């Protein structure tokens, strides 16, 4: 019995370490990259807009839920705020709100690449801790499924 417990604990620790390593920032970037691939594969502009809007909406919702949790640190809360601002800017540009000219139908594929590349460079994502990022990812996965 003891052997099983020790062995199980080692396996559990390894799995946790691998998960923490593989997830986090990379998963958030993958989320937007997957959305961009779907946008490019979509047949028409309205479908592309729906995919982009949904990806922004789901991410915003996950960020709101995580932010409202009492477990989140002050620094992570600030990081989430910056992330949300960056996301809102993109939603505004896609829809032509808040002073933005609406992204034209012909530019939607390029815009989806812009979102991926800008998010990869965004300092906001970089400053969110691993536990908070994992929470965001879990929520996103649950929402998308």
Which spans of this chain sit near another protein (rule: CB under 8 A)?
A: 3, 6-7, 10, 13, 17, 25-26, 29-30, 33-34, 36-37, 78, 82, 89, 93, 98-101, 103-104, 106-107, 110-111, 113-114, 116-118, 120-121, 123, 125-126
Q: Of 80 and 139, which CB lies nearer to another protein in the complex structure?
A: 80
Give 126 or 144: the residue with its C-beta nearer to another protein: 126
Largest Cα separation within the chain, whole Å, is 66
Token pair 């965001």 in the structure block, residue: 136
- For residue 29, what are its two tokens? 């970037």
Nearer to another protein, 23 or 58 (CB): 23
- Residue of 53, 21, 20 lying closest to 39 (CA atoms): 53
CB of 118 to another protein, least distance (A): 5
Distant-in-sequence, close-in-space partners of 2: CB < 8 Å, separation ≥ 6: none
E strand residue ranges, the chain: none
């Amino acid at each position: 019995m003891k052997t099983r417990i020790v062995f199980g604990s080692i396996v559990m620790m390894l799995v946790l370490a691998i998960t923490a390593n593989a997830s986090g920032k990379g998963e958030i970037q993958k989320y937007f990259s997957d959305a961009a691939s779907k946008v490019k594969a979509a047949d028409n502009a309205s479908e592309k807009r729906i995919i982009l809007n949904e990806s922004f909406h789901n991410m915003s919702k996950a960020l709101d839920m995580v932010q409202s949790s009492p477990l989140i640190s002050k620094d992570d809360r600030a990081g989430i705020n910056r992330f949300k601002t960056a996301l809102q800017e993109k939603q505004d540009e896609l829809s032509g709100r808040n002073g933005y000219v609406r992204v034209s139908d012909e530019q939607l594929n390029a815009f989806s690449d812009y979102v991926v590349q800008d998010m990869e460079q965004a300092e906001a994502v970089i400053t969110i801790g691993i536990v908070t990022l994992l929470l965001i990812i879990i929520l996103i996965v649950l929402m998308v499924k």
